[in-house]
Structure 1
Amino acid sequence: MDTERHSSPRQTVAILSRGDAAVRRDATAQNSRFVRVFEALATVGIEASPAIYDESFAGAVRDQLLAADGVLVWVDPIHQGKTRAGLDALLRDVAAQGPWVSAHPDVILKMGVKDVLYRTRHLGWGADTYRYDTAASFRSEFPARLRTDGPRVLKQNRGNGGQGVWKVEALPGTDGVVRVLHAQRGSIPEDMPFDALFARCEPYFGWGGCIIDQAFQPRLADGMIRCYMSSAKVAGFGHQKIKALVPPPPQGPDSPEAQPGPRIMYGPDAPQFQALRRSMEDEWTPQMMATLGIDEPSLPVIWDADFLYGPKDAAGADTYVLCEINASSCFAIPDEAPAAIARTVKQRMLRTTGVHSDA
């Protein structure tokens, strides 16, 4: 396949997601879950095509991406036991040869991992947060912190869908026994000695490199606010009554009562979230960029920051605590987000046109 870079009257974008050979063969813009993104890009004059990825045909995907001007990536860090290790290497190679990639793997490693909670703990969205870089430091430091500070939430550095996220509580009157609850759907509390917890978490140092330890937020039951961002601007919000890290009801973890509520989507102008919007656009995102060394053109075309409600302030207003940033695969999105994505992509295209036409 000829992947020679050339200027084109119509700029092109590949929308990358996971799938098998049959999905790749049959993929179209119309049958894609990203159909609204395809439509929004077409409206601003950008031609987009689906690019289905699997490690078994990575070479063909690489050729396809090299023929595009840009690549939008929607691939989870962990999917059915597969990680992004091979894909991230491929995307780095593609980006080095001309096409821009969003989100670039190196940007994800700065902001789309749980370590961002530790590195930005001094910002207004921060909480009581620690990082363990080795299994030895985790074993030596965590037990005393748990006994002194109360319930904690442990998070592997890279993951999704609640994988590797644990609420941990010390059990009074016991000799080194803790109660743990996994954030994955269908989990139930387990009582175990510290050594069993350490053994369960030790593999996280291999894949993600560290474990993040945050104070448990007592207002968890009030729900999670997902703030959707396109580059440095808010593209919408979602609010959901989550059940992760909430003990299941008597009916059991698979009962209807144990399931999370629907995520209610809102546009960027939703009045109840304007204080959060101002904080994100005017303070926290610029401060995060400065802390992590990310410039605005490198911010993902679509990403989200998940917040829990913190304690109310002296005036009775809500505060917000960041619990994770999603930059690898941010979907579903509010109705207003595809147009915001298209505007941001158009800006990126205009910024890089000179580079591409000279390549």
Structure 2
Amino acid sequence: MDTERHPSPRHTVAILSRGDAAARREATPQNSRFVRVFEALAAAGIEARPAIYDETFADAVREQLLTADGVLVWVDPIHQGKTRAALDALLREVAARGPWVSAHPDVILKMGVKEVLYTTRHLGWGADTHRYASAAAFAAEFPPRLRAGGPRVLKQNRGNGGQGVWKVETVPGADAAIRVLHAQRGSLTEDIPLDAFIARCASYFEWGGCIIDQAFQPRLPDGMIRCYMSGSKVAGFGHQLIKALIPPPRQGPDSPDAQPGPRIMHGPDAPPFQALRRAMEDEWTPRMMKTLSLDEASLPVIWDADFLYGPPDADGADTYVLCEINVSSCFAIPDEAPAAIARAVRERLP
């Protein structure tokens, strides 16, 4: 074929995010928070178009997505009381009719939920982790586990922004009361009867299906390391001094000292994180894929694994404990990540 006279058709990708009708009408690549991703895709020869989603105009979004070769999705599990239940069904339908979707909802249910902390606890990034599959199991098993050890961290299976994540510890001299702190910004420490807290968590089984229970990591004040991945390769790192699950100072949760520090972004070659990079690329990600029955092509084009510092090893080197994997809406991202996303998209589109 004469390729100069008959060039290959240009691939098209929809970048999907949540918004209202006005945002949908006014959306352009230039006014999008994903503008750098649009630019990287264009440089790779891929035409990207914004696709703003809401349940009230889902039919129009469906028709738009069906005209694209691929769909990149940035939508939180929970946003202003709305979940992804309807969107996930739409994306499954779209993917079944031809366009490639990243991250596919079925992949999110394997690796982008808190249950992955339990399923992969044996890989080398795990901690003392348990799973409660029902409210009855939670009520029976959690109280003795809490009383037998130190503070615990409970996590609903699907959520974001600290929603449904709690630090729980016993109160000295009080058998029936516990001390809890929600991870959402602005939360205060609360002493509450254990039975009342168990009842408060019952709704988590309705949406997420389970609660995950991890040992609290004492080195939390040292910060969280976010390892950004594109497929199976590291695309960068972010280090942040977080304040979630740390009791606020006396000045209150809105005081300057209670606010998290900035997330300092680094490229994939940043020297402080090369041991973590080697572990992620050479050991943990391949073993995660095997455990979850995922292949390379199924991995999201952008995802991240959040780590806390564990206790130093016998040689004094840092260890890392996985506290979350983000797949649904991984953003902001390092400067190097848009190019990595574009390379992954180019490789996966037919």
TM category, shorter: over 0.9
1:178 and 1:296 map into 2 onto residues whose CA distance is 44
2:55 and 2:344 map into 1 onto residues whose CA distance is 29
User: TM-score, structure 2 length as denominator?
Assistant: 0.98
Matches within 5 A, 1:8-87: 9-87=9-87
1:335 and 1:237 map into 2 onto residues whose CA distance is 10
Q: Give the corresponding residue for 1:282.
A: 282
1:70 and 1:176 map into 2 onto residues whose CA distance is 53
2:193 and 2:8 map into 1 onto residues whose CA distance is 63
Q: Which runs of 5+ in 1 are unaligned?
A: 1-6, 354-359
1:53-100 C-alpha deviation (Å, 9 max, x unpaired): 000000000000000000000000000000000000000000000001
1:312 and 1:77 map into 2 onto residues whose CA distance is 34
2:30 and 2:175 map into 1 onto residues whose CA distance is 59
Matches within 5 A, 1:26-175: 26-175=26-175
1:287 and 1:56 map into 2 onto residues whose CA distance is 40
The alpha-carbon deviation at position 199 of structure 1 amounts to: 1.2
Q: Give the corresponding residue for 2:246.
A: 246
2:122 and 2:20 map into 1 onto residues whose CA distance is 43
Secondary structure class of the residue paired with 2:51: strand
2:170 and 2:249 map into 1 onto residues whose CA distance is 21
1:56 and 1:315 map into 2 onto residues whose CA distance is 57
Q: Give the corresponding residue for 2:195.
A: 195
The alpha-carbon deviation at position 8 of structure 1 amounts to: 6.5
The CA RMSD over aligned residues, in Å, is: 0.8
1:108-136 C-alpha deviation (Å, 9 max, x unpaired): 00000000000000011000000000101
List structure 1 segments (4+ residues) > 6 angstroms apart after TM superposition: none
1:48 and 1:125 map into 2 onto residues whose CA distance is 36
1:176 and 1:224 map into 2 onto residues whose CA distance is 33
User: TM-score, structure 1 length as denominator?
Assistant: 0.95
1:238 and 1:107 map into 2 onto residues whose CA distance is 24
Secondary structure class of the residue paired with 1:113: coil
The alpha-carbon deviation at position 171 of structure 1 amounts to: 1.1
Matches within 5 A, 1:199-214: 199-214=199-214
1:138 and 1:145 map into 2 onto residues whose CA distance is 10
Residue 322 of structure 2 aligns with an amino acid whose one-letter code is L
2:217 and 2:81 map into 1 onto residues whose CA distance is 30
Secondary structure class of the residue paired with 1:305: strand
1:26-69 C-alpha deviation (Å, 9 max, x unpaired): 00000000000000000010000000000000000000000000
Q: Give the corresponding residue for 2:344.
A: 344
2:282 and 2:71 map into 1 onto residues whose CA distance is 28
Q: Give the corresponding residue for 1:257.
A: 257
1:279-325 C-alpha deviation (Å, 9 max, x unpaired): 00000000000001111100000000000000000000000000000
Residue 215 of structure 1 aligns with an amino acid whose one-letter code is A
2:198 and 2:344 map into 1 onto residues whose CA distance is 43
Residue 224 of structure 1 aligns with an amino acid whose one-letter code is M
Q: Indicate whether 1:180 and 2:180 are aligned.
A: yes
Q: Give the corresponding residue for 1:356.
A: none
Q: Which runs of 5+ in 2 are unaligned?
A: 1-6
2:189 and 2:196 map into 1 onto residues whose CA distance is 14
1:30 and 1:271 map into 2 onto residues whose CA distance is 34
Secondary structure class of the residue paired with 1:52: strand
1:120-159 C-alpha deviation (Å, 9 max, x unpaired): 0001100000000010110111011011121000000000
Identity percentage of aligned residues: 81
2:188 and 2:289 map into 1 onto residues whose CA distance is 38
Residue 32 of structure 1 aligns with an amino acid whose one-letter code is S
The alpha-carbon deviation at position 175 of structure 1 amounts to: 2.1
Secondary structure class of the residue paired with 1:176: strand
